[in-house]
Amino acid sequence: MSTKILFAGGGTAGHVEPALAVATWLKNNKPSWDLTFIGTKSGLENQLVPKAGFELRHIPKVLMPRQFTPATLIWPIKIVFATLKAIKVCREADLVIGFGGYACPPIYLAAALLRKPIFIHEANAIPGWANRLGAVFASEIFIAFTRTQKKIGRWRSAKLSGMPIRAEIIAAASLSPDESSQIKNDQLEKWHLSKTKPTILVFGGSQGSRHINEAILQSLSAFTEKGVQVVHSVGRSNALPTSTENYLPLSYIDDMSSAYHAADLIIARSGALTCAELAAVGKFAILIPLPIGNGEQSANAFDLQAAGAAELVVDNKFNADWLISNWDEIWNKASSFKPVTKGEFSASEIIGKMIIDYVENNK
């Protein structure tokens, strides 16, 4: 019987992309294994997973209540129903590996009830509630940030693997200056933008950020006056603004590796995946942590800020006035930024090898 591995996680690229990176490594090294993804019907996994060539199965989406409302009373019923659905897809699994997100809690509970081994990867410096639940049952825990080991309980013994990121972004770290310049010119030509003007790349996560979008749109005239061009991923669910000679709005960017090459400065949220990719490609960024959650986006960006690779701006201070008034200082930092020697970004291999060892030693 073929070995079956279930990958759980979804909702945003920050959960899906690391899972895909590990699955792709496993697919290349264990082509006979059955690798299946579990997600919900509304997450970004519905675009990314089939495109990468993996099977995707669905379970119900169950949101963790952030405050007490009448809907909170039926939450236990929803989680039980989703767990029963998850049990059906977990029965034949040899191992479950979760990356956080809406699909994970029912899968963790189902796998625990079935006594299936569970691995988890926590992308953020501060673990989310789904992986805090998963950590109770996990055989192995992988983390991307050393500061996560400062948490109590099983996080102290977690393995520091780093963040699994796409192979093409890892490859970008070892390109020669001439190769990198060629990719940059090719991408700017594809976008029909100037090869001589400074280029800003803006994105607010896979769903986009209306707050960042508004600040950029209100700054466009100032950027045009300064001879700066902007590539702006506004998010799939947001209306696409009108493009101009110096402004290219996009719903979503699939080829992030080439986009990073083409950019001289990044403006983005500080999701864990974004921070890992910025470290890999060595680009200076303005990072605006998402103000909701448990503070994980601020914590994610601390290492980049400490290395002089990023300027952190709290969400309620980031607007067009801030961007325009601080532009010269920011641009000087971006222009003079010299990334440190890039290390090996082998998280996919680290996690993949441990999956193989565990499965082969316990079959």
Please compute the mean of the pLDDT values over residues 278-286 and round it to a whole number: 92
286 & 186 share domain: yes
Contact 40, 61 (CB under 8 A): yes
User: How far is Cα 3 from Cα 94, in angstroms, rounded to an integer?
Assistant: 6
- Same domain for 130 and 61: yes
What number is the average pLDDT over the span 96-106? Answer: 93
Specify which residues 10 forms β-bridges with.
Answer: 101
Residue 311 tokens, joined:
């300027």
| Span 103-126, pLDDT tens digits | 899 999 999 999 999 999 999 998
In a shared domain, residues 175 and 292: yes
**Neighbouring residues of 68: CB distance < 8 A, sequence distance ≥ 6:** none
Q: 223 or 344: whose pLDDT is higher? A: 223
Tell me the CB-side half-sphere exposure of residue 277, using CA atoms within 13 A.
27
* Region of residue 293 (left: phi > 0; alpha: psi -120 to 50; beta: else): left
- Give residue 245's pLDDT band: very low, low, confident or very high (50, 70, 90): very high
Structural domain of residue 14, as residue ranges? 4-165+345-362
Average pLDDT of span 134-161? 89
Rounded mean pLDDT of 37-60? 92
**Model pLDDT for residues 198-218, shown as the tens digit of each residue:** 999 999 876 778 899 999 999
| Total domains, the chain | 2
Collapse the DSSP code of 239 into the 3-class scheme (helix H, G, I; strand E, B; otherwise coil) and give the result. Answer: coil
pLDDT for the residue numbered 340: 64
Query: Residues 302, 238: one domain?
Result: yes
pLDDT at position 238: 87
Query: Per DSSP, what are the bridge partners of residue 250?
Result: 233
How many whole angstroms separate alpha carbon 212 and alpha carbon 202?
A: 8
Domain match, 183 and 269 both: yes
Whole-number pLDDT of residue 326: 96
pLDDT at 66: 66
* CATH number for the domain that contains residue 41: 3.40.50.2000
Average pLDDT, the chain: 90
Same domain, 192 and 86: no
Percent of the chain clearing pLDDT 90 (strictly above): 67
Quickly state the pLDDT bin for 291 (edges 50, 70, 90). confident
Residues in the chain, total: 363
176 pLDDT higher than 70: yes
Helix ranges restricted to H, 91-176? 104-113, 129-137, 167-172
Q: How confident is the model at residue 345 (pLDDT cuts 50, 70, 90)?
A: low
For residues 342-357, average pLDDT: 83
What are 247-269's pLDDT values in tens digits?
A: 999 998 989 999 999 999 999 99
- 257 φ, ψ (degrees, to nearest 5): -60, -50
Residue with the two structure tokens 């990468």 = 52
Q: Is the dihedral of CA 198, 341, 343, 182 positive or negative?
A: positive
**Between 236 and 125, residue with greater pLDDT:** 125
Same domain flag for 210 and 77: no
| Stretch among 23-32, 119-128, 297-306, 341-350 having the lowest mean pLDDT | 341-350
- Distance (Å, whole) CA 127 – CA 119: 15
User: What does the alpha-carbon distance between residue 356 and residue 213 come to, in Å, rounded to a whole number?
Assistant: 43
**What is the model's pTM?**
0.84
Q: Kindly tell me if the per-residue pLDDT of 99 is higher than 90.
A: yes
Within this chain, do residues 209 and 329 fall inside the same structural domain, yes or no?
yes
Q: Are residues 68 and 215 located together in one domain of the fold?
A: no
Per-residue HEC secondary structure of 173-199 comes to CCCCHHHHHHHHHHHHHHCCCCCCCCE
Q: What percent of the chain has pLDDT over 70?
A: 96
Q: Tell me: do 191 and 132 sit in the same domain.
A: no
Dist. CA 296–CA 65, nearest whole Å: 18
* φ/ψ of residue 78, rounded to 5: -65, -40
Please check whether residues 146 and 239 belong to one and the same domain.
no
Q: Are residues 212 and 306 in the same domain?
A: yes
